[in-house]
Amino acid sequence: MKKLYIAMLSAVAVIPALAADVAEVAKGLAAKVTPNTITYKAENGWLYSKNELAHLAKWELAQGGVVKKSACLKPANADPLPALKAFNDALAGIGIKLIVVPVPPKIAIEPCAPLQPGEAMVYLRPFYRELRAQGIDVLDLSERYLAAPKEHYYCRTDAHWNPAGIAVAAEELAKLIQLRGKEEFPLTGPMLTVTGDLAKSLDPQKPEQENFAFTMVGGKPIDESSPILLIGDSHTLVFSTGGDMLAEHGGLAERLALQLKMPVERIGVKGSAATAVRINLYRKAARDPQWLRNKKFVIYCFSCREFTESTSGWVKVPVVKK
């Protein structure tokens, strides 16, 4: 029993040390970002976002650390927890289940030296426990991604997840959503060649390309009458809306619709989704209160770096007009 107790104390003591190590590594990598770009190119050829490295360098988020390290310009809006709890409670009050999906850091799943797979999650998991203690459901996709390390789930040349990462996210979300339809969506499976934002920043004239097996979902997988509402940042738009979002008709909304056999509605924004997307939801609900009351699930998906790197921060926003 004594040995077990000592082992437990040792395990607890390791957590901040590991997080500190990750933070120091992130600071070192951030210092190697190519000047006048948003990109760090590792020796293994993978490209990483300057913003993500800045987030990782902030160290611990739990126990108030997120407030101390936030880039938010207004300290009162620096803490995500009160805003997320208010959002969760307001939705629950009208019978809607919230699922928060912070997209894991790319470098946690596709690491470069000296980090190992999963090490960059050490600062996030204690914070997720704090969110869950407030009744907020958090889907930690890193557990599924790390369970199959031979598969790549992120773009090598872009800051976003790739089609395989999106497909896994849709599978895991479908396990949490008890609704199913009967709609079959036609599929096409082309190979896709893309050039990501990180590659374009590094070399605008001859940026690197990469190839993916890509599934396009036909029919009408996105519909505002759906009881499932997906909201969030560009992770809800990539591989769905085209242009700088790389492709069309194969993003998270489409892949989730495929899993549920029913359409999904989406409200997505480019840039920070810490507050803006919840404002968009409120405005739509204010125009049509019954629209929101027909929803059963809201999925809030955003890059985990939003916890510290949003300059606008996490403002409490009402869900329905009083």
Chain segment 145-197, per-residue pLDDT in tens = 999 878 999 999 999 999 999 999 999 999 999 999 999 999 999 999 999 99
Spans of all domains in the chain: 2-309
User: Where is average pLDDT lowest: 6-15, 272-281, 293-302?
Assistant: 6-15
The answer to whether the beta carbons of residues 137 and 225 sit under 8 Å apart is no
The answer to whether the beta carbons of residues 183 and 226 sit under 8 Å apart is no
Examine the pLDDT at 202 and tell me if it is beyond 70: yes
Q: Which one is predicted more confidently, 149 or 219?
A: 219
pLDDT at 124: 95
Q: Cα angle at 183 between 182 and 184, to 5 degrees?
A: 120
pLDDT tens profile 47-60: 999 999 999 999 88
Examine the pLDDT at 2 and tell me if it is beyond 60: no
Closest Cα partner for 224 from 192, 265, 253, 255? 265
Task: Give pTM, 2 decimals.
Answer: 0.94
Examine the pLDDT at 16 and tell me if it is beyond 60: no
Examine the pLDDT at 135 and tell me if it is beyond 70: yes
What pLDDT band is residue 321 in, cutting at 50, 70 and 90?
Answer: confident
The answer to whether the beta carbons of residues 240 and 251 sit under 8 Å apart is yes
What is the three-class DSSP state of 265? strand
Average pLDDT score over residue span 104-125: 95
Examine the pLDDT at 1 and tell me if it is beyond 60: no
